Structure 1
Amino acid sequence: MSILTAAGYVDGDTPSAISRLVADELAREPAQLVLELSHTTSVDTAFVEALAHASALAGEADTSFCLVVSPASPVVQALAAADLIERFEIFTTVNEAKLQR
């Protein structure tokens, strides 16, 4: 299992950095990749696109991919607004994500 974390306001260059980190982690062939986003306070459209891209990359690599975030978080709200929420498994804790592996 690999866990990547982002926190605070995610904008600007952060989405492309996350895309690179996800690609690097997937190259290591983990059984599961978890994005821990519970401390993310705001996101932009580029971040939502980066998450969709990360999900697609994980699918191509046949790697389980999920998000750890509160259901009321800005991340979930942005994914729902973009009609992408159903592409993601969402858990409220890393331990929950581990149990679902």
Structure 2
Amino acid sequence: MSLTPFLIAKLSRVEPGVVRRAMSTASAIDEIEGGRPAEFSRGPNATAFALALFVARRPVHFYLGLAGLVGFPVYLLVRIGSFLIGWGMHIHGQ
């Protein structure tokens, strides 16, 4: 399984088969307002379909958003680490 279906399956908590159907349905839809199958109207299937539709329309935004979800906590940890190192240097006088 490639990265995109794997991420959609994990984020929406559905089976890979549902993700494959959602992605094929999302890529086949020409208009966003043009309805969706009843299978994707409620629950986790709707989440999988929404993510598949988003990936089909704006794949760069999807991956940049996921990178931001990882990058922002890393940034916070680096900031806290640098503060603690500075504080430790101040307390121990070096």
Same-fold call, TM cutoff 0.5: no
TM-score by length of 1: 0.25
Q: As a proportion of its length, which structure holds more strand?
A: 1
Instruction: Give the structure with the larger helix fraction.
Output: 2
TM-score (norm 2): 0.26
Instruction: Name which one, 1 or 2, has greater alpha-carbon Rg.
Output: 2
